[in-house]
């Protein structure tokens, strides 16, 4: 692209702590997307932003420029033949261990009249990725043709897929360079990366699940809160009403972690085989916020009643089944998931070294135990073993003893099972205390709602 000012001068301005204009930011992001900026220049820009930050106006401009660097989906009105009869809604999480909310929330919202074009990612580090979980389902296509994706959103109400080359291409290149230049941990870059992709999906409303605790993406409670507030504010100023929930990740959200094991958990919740629990509680609150934002319910009580009805009736499970079949998976996954989802050859309990109650969990270390088993990635191109993982993970305050283990390990070999067991012993603290002596964290710690101007 043709720059009105030399790119190096714009980079110099940010290096020296100056605020960039909307026009300058759009030119720089355009150069990232079309190759007008070299890798060296993109890295220098990322470092300048990392060191000097961005004000609110710059962060909004950066987010909008990333969003507009490729296709922005249109679902109704001019430029769209779909004519969706309901709101286009989505959710994003900063990630965690046992966080399979998307697998349940997407079809649940669809069953309530919303349309969910969910563009998700892979796991890296200690957190699991939604796409990795879905690829445990044989035949599931995470990269369908554009029209197939759009048609499925209209017909099933939900499609969970990976980012396409057309959506926010500037983010793909910028993130790759941030990853190798030690500039990932920058609030404006994090926010624009998350929101650029999400807002390019043409949403009417967004809900963010920002985790806090030992398994969270952000290192401290204060940083998690700052991220939640910034995302809600920036997305709303960019035109998409957004609610951010600050939720607990001081223990795994579900009592399992892995890929196939988490798909089984999602199916159990959707079909009513399992009820209650922290995972369902968080998903229900996030879904209620989306129904309110999308005007599918008049108040919180009505939203929760609608959700409970659609779950109990099997409507949410049916939407999940339609999505899976529509993307190439088995048509009878709900009825016969044991035929399709892979199982590890070794499943054995890991008992605590002493009886007592679980008083602390290093959730990040629990996630890394899954990575050690082969269920996660150390590098972006690592292969995933979808069968391995952990189930029956003990919760904070729960008694563990010779009968009740810390967890069950699903492993490919005895050596890997033993290694994961050692990691769990180090990650989960057990003490001889009463139940009242264990402080249980608040699950939903704050709710931040922002309307578009």
CB 30 within 8 A of CB 65: yes
Give the residue from 305, 336, 367 where a domain finishes: 336
Residues 164 and 304 in one domain: yes
Q: Is residue 145 part of a domain?
A: yes
- DSSP per residue over 285-320, as a string? HHHHHHHHHTTSSSSHHHHHHHHHHHHHTTHHHHHH
Q: Is residue 265 part of a domain?
A: yes
Answer yes or no: 93 catalytic. Answer: yes
The residue from 130, 236, 242, 243 that is catalytic is: 130
Residue 178 designated active-site: yes
Q: Which residues pair with 346 in a beta bridge?
A: 411
**Residue 448: which residues within 8 A CB-CB, separation 6 or more?**
228, 229, 232, 243, 244, 245, 246
Residue 437 a catalytic site member: no
Q: For the whole model, what pTM was predicted?
A: 0.94
Residue 31 structural domain: 7-53
Would residue 208 count as lying in a domain? yes
* Annotated catalytic residue within 67, 178, 310, 337: 178
Q: Which of 307, 292, 298, 306 is nearest to 242 (CA)?
A: 292
Nearest CA to 253 among 146, 349, 366?
366
- The two tokens of residue 275 are 């009820």
**Angle formed at CA 157 by CA 210 and CA 231, multiple of 5 degrees:** 20
Q: Is 90 a catalytic residue?
A: yes
Whether 122 and 15 map to the same domain: the answer is: no
Report if residue 386 sits inside a domain. yes
**Under 8 Å between Cβ of 373 and 385:** yes
Q: Are residues 135 and 17 in the same domain?
A: no
80 inside domain: no
Structure tokens at 250: 């001081």
Identify the domain boundary among 336, 361, 396: 336
Q: Which residues pair with 437 in a beta bridge?
A: none
Q: In this structure, are 372 and 295 located in the same domain?
A: no
User: 247 with 310, same domain?
Assistant: yes
End-to-end CA distance of the chain: 31
Q: Which of 122, 172, 197, 322 is catalytic?
A: 197
Counting Cα atoms < 13 Å in the Cβ hemisphere of 401 gives 5
| 116 close to 106: Cβ distance less than 8 angstroms | yes
128 shares its domain with 243:
yes
Active site residue 193: yes
* Percent helix / strand / coil, the chain, rounded to 5: 45, 15, 40
Q: Whose structure tokens read 């296509």?
A: 141
Residue 330 lies in a domain: yes
In the set 90, 171, 248, 362, the catalytic residue is 90
User: Looking at the structure, do residues 177 and 229 belong to the same domain, yes or no?
Assistant: yes
**Is 374 in contact with 260 (CB distance < 8 Å)?**
no
Beta pairing partners, 141: none
List average pLDDT for each run of 10 residues in the chain, which is 453 residues long.
81 97 96 95 97 97 97 70 84 93 98 96 80 97 94 96 91 90 92 94 96 90 95 96 97 97 98 97 98 97 98 98 98 97 98 97 96 85 92 97 97 97 98 90 95 85
Domain boundary among 289, 308, 336: 336
- The pairing of strands 389-391 and 346-350 is unpaired
In a domain, 226, yes or no: yes
pLDDT at 80: 46
197 as an active site residue: the answer is yes
Q: Count of domains in the chain?
A: 3
Q: What is the CATH number of the domain that holds 22?
A: 1.20.970.10
Taking each helix axis from N to C end, the angle separating 7-15 and 39-52, rounded to the nearest 10 degrees, works out to 20
Same domain, 111 and 158: yes
What is the pLDDT, as a whole number, of residue 242?
A: 97
Q: What pairing do the DSSP bridges indicate for beta strands 389-391 and 444-450? A: unpaired
Task: Give the CATH number, domain containing residue 236.
Answer: 3.40.1030.10
Please tell me the predicted confidence (pLDDT) of residue 152. Answer: 96
Q: Are residues 150 and 284 in the same domain?
A: yes
Look up 198 and say whether it is catalytic: yes
Based on the fold, state whether residues 299 and 211 are members of the same structural domain: yes
- Bridge partners of residue 358, in order along the sequence: 430
* One domain, residues 270 and 405: no
Per-residue confidence (pLDDT) for residue 78, from 0 to 100 = 40
- Report the CATH number that the domain containing residue 368 is assigned in CATH: 3.90.1170.30
Q: Which of 14, 26, 67, 92 is catalytic?
A: 92
Residue 356 burial (CB count, 10 A): 15
Distance of alpha carbon 408 from alpha carbon 413, whole angstroms: 14
Distance of CA 226 to the CA centre of its chain: 18
Q: Is 19 helix (H, G, I), strand (E, B) or coil?
A: coil
Q: What is the pLDDT of residue 79?
A: 41
Q: How many residues does the chain have?
A: 453
Residue 447 lies in a domain: no
C-alpha span between 351 and 49 (Å, rounded): 47
Whether residue 254 sits in one domain with residue 135 = yes
């Amino acid at each position: 692209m043709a720059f009105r000012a030399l790119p190096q001068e714009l980079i110099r301005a940010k290096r020296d702590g100056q605020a960039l204009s909307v026009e300058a930011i759009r030119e720089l992001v355009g150069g990232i997307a079309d190759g007008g900026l070299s890798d060296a220049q993109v890295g220098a820009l990322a470092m300048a932003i990392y060191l000097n930050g961005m004000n609110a106006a710059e962060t909004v401009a950066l987010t909008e420029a990333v969003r507009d660097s490729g296709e922005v989906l249109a679902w109704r009105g001019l430029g769209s033949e779909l004519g969706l009869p309901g709101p286009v809604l989505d959710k994003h999480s900063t990630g965690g261990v046992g966080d399979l909310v998307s697998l349940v929330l997407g079809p649940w919202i669809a069953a309530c009249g919303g349309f969910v074009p969910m563009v998700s990612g892979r796991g890296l580090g200690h957190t699991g990725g939604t796409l990795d979980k879905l690829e445990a389902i044989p035949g599931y296509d995470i990269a369908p043709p554009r029209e197939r994706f759009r048609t499925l959103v209209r017909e099933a109400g939900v499609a969970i897929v990976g980012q396409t080359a057309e959506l926010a291409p500037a983010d793909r290149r910028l993130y790759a360079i941030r990853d190798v230049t030690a500039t990932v941990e920058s609030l404006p870059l994090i926010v624009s990366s998350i929101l650029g992709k999400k807002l390019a999906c043409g949403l009417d409303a967004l809900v963010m699940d920002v985790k806090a605790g030992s398994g969270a993406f952000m290192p401290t409670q204060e940083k998690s809160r700052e991220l939640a507030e910034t995302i809600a504010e920036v997305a709303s100023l960019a035109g998409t009403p957004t609610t951010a929930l600050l939720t607990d990740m001081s223990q795994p959200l579900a009592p399992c972690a892995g890929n196939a094991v988490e798909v089984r958990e999602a199916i159990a919740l959707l079909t009513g085989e399992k009820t209650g629990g922290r995972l369902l509680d968080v998903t229900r609150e996030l879904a209620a916020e989306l129904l309110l934002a999308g005007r599918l319910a008049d108040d919180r009580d009505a939203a929760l009643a609608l959700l409970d009805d659609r779950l109990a009736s099997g409507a949410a499970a049916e939407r999940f089944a339609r999505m899976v079949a529509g993307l190439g998976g088995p048509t009878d996954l709900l009825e016969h998931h044991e035929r399709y989802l892979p199982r590890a050859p070794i499943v054995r309990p890991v008992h605590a070294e002493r009886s007592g109650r679980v008083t602390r969990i290093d959730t990040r270390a629990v996630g890394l135990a899954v990575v050690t088993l082969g269920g996660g990635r150390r590098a972006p191109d690592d292969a995933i073993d979808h069968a391995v993982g952990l189930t029956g993970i003990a919760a904070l305050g729960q008694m563990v003893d010779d009968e009740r283990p810390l967890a069950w390990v699903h492993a490919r070999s005895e050596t890997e099972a033993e290694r994961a067991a050692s990691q769990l012993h180090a990650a989960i603290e057990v003490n001889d205390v009463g139940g009242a002596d264990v402080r249980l964290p608040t699950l939903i710690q704050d709710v931040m709602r922002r309307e578009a101007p």
